[in-house]
């Protein structure tokens, strides 16, 4: 049975770099993978005052040849919990050339640096994790071995999906168009404590069409999609959201990071 979004506090908020870093990040993204920038996109035209919109344009994927990232646990959880988190993170490897492995050295030197403190669920997006040496890159607030398996399956692949460079699927224009603007703002301000501006950016600002590299049609059951209740939509029908990696997610990751 699906839980309502209200019972799933906190909601994921991907971390975004400050505006003065966007030109540098665009150069980095293009160097790692030329198609990380949409056709015709001119780095020199970047306007720092439009950084919110740029966050939805520049792609931050890893090389198409595959992804192998080390994971360090900054708060030193028990070995069984570390193994369980990695097992759910590596669900992406079913169809993709992807591997997340625990580092055997100093945790703060890992590619992915994970902790479980206050601050909800979040991750830096894709290759941007490289730009914060020694700092935390992902948070799974309150995760323990007592956390239900359904939450491991819903949250861990979602956050590691952001680390792979995948944005939120509910920001596809076809899904955003289904939302009632003011009711959605009221709902997230009430349940998440966000500001009006936070809701507009995190839920109501659609991805630029030129930046979309996912499935041809939006998948509201993608693991990268929020569950959004019917009280937020124009029709009263909820956005189902993802509780596990969907078939279209698996097909997508096979195309973006194909196995040899």
CA-wise closest residue to 219 among 243, 181, 248, 193: 248
Averaged pLDDT, 25-31: 92
Is residue 101 over pLDDT 60?
A: yes
Is residue 142 over pLDDT 50?
A: yes
Match 């309150």 to its residue by tokens.
Answer: 142
195-227 per-residue burial string, b: 16 or more CB within 10 A, e: under 16: eeeebbbbbbebbbeebbbbbeebbbbbbbbbb
Contact present, 111 and 93 (Cβ < 8 Å):
no
Averaged pLDDT, 123-129: 94
Averaged pLDDT, 111-135: 94
The predicted structure's pLDDT at residue 38: 82
- Give the H or E element holding residue 56: none
The predicted structure's pLDDT at residue 209: 62
Exposure of 226 in the CB half-sphere (CA atoms within 13 A):
31
pLDDT digits (tens, 9 = 90+) for 3-25: 444 444 467 887 878 778 888 99
Is residue 244 over pLDDT 80?
A: yes
Q: How far is CA 224 from the centre of its chain?
A: 6
Residue 39 pLDDT class (50, 70, 90 cuts)? confident
Residue 198 pLDDT class (50, 70, 90 cuts)? confident
SS3 201: helix
Averaged pLDDT, 29-48: 85
pLDDT digits (tens, 9 = 90+) for 45-85: 777 766 555 555 678 899 999 999 999 999 999 999 999 99
d(C-alpha 258, C-alpha 247), whole Å: 15
What does the mean pLDDT of the chain come to?
87
The predicted structure's pLDDT at residue 255: 92
d(C-alpha 165, C-alpha 67), whole Å: 11
DSSP letter, residue 243: S
Residue 156 pLDDT class (50, 70, 90 cuts)? very high
What's the chain's length in residues?
A: 260
CA-wise closest residue to 219 among 176, 257, 170: 170
Contact present, 117 and 95 (Cβ < 8 Å):
no
Residue 1 pLDDT class (50, 70, 90 cuts)? very low
Averaged pLDDT, 151-171: 92
The predicted structure's pLDDT at residue 7: 44
The predicted structure's pLDDT at residue 220: 87
Match 């993978």 to its residue by tokens.
Answer: 33
> Which residues are CB-neighbours of 207 under 8 A, at least 6 positions away?
56, 167, 171, 172, 173
Of residues 172 and 63, the one with the higher pLDDT is 63
């Amino acid at each position: 049975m699906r839980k309502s979004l209200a019972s799933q506090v906190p909601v994921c908020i991907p971390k975004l770099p400050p505006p003065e870093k966007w030109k540098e990040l665009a150069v980095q993204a293009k160097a790692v993978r030329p198609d990380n920038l949409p056709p015709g996109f001119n780095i020199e035209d970047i306007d720092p005052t439009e950084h919110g919109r740029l966050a939805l344009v520049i792609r931050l994927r890893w090389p198409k040849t595959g992804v192998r990232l080390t994971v360090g646990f900054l708060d030193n959880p028990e070995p069984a919990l570390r193994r369980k988190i990695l097992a759910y993170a590596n669900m992406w490897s079913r169809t993709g050339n992807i591997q997340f492995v625990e580092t055997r050295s100093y945790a703060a030197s890992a590619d992915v640096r994970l902790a479980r403190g206050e601050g909800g669920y979040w991750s830096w997006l894709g290759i941007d994790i490289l730009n914060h040496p020694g700092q935390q890159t992902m948070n799974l607030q309150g995760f323990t071995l007592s956390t239900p398996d359904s939450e491991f399956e819903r949250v861990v692949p979602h956050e590691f999906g952001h680390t792979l460079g995948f944005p939120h699927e509910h920001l596809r224009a076809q899904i955003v168009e289904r939302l009632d603007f003011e009711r959605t703002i009221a709902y997230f301000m009430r349940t998440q404590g966000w500001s009006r501006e936070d809701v507009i950016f995190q839920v109501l600002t659609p991805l630029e069409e030129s930046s979309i590299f996912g499935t041809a049609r939006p998948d509201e059951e993608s693991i990268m999609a929020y569950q959004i209740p019917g009280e937020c939509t124009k029709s009263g029908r909820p956005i189902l959201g993802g509780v596990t990696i969907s078939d279209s997610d698996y097909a997508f990751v096979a195309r973006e990071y194909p196995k040899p």
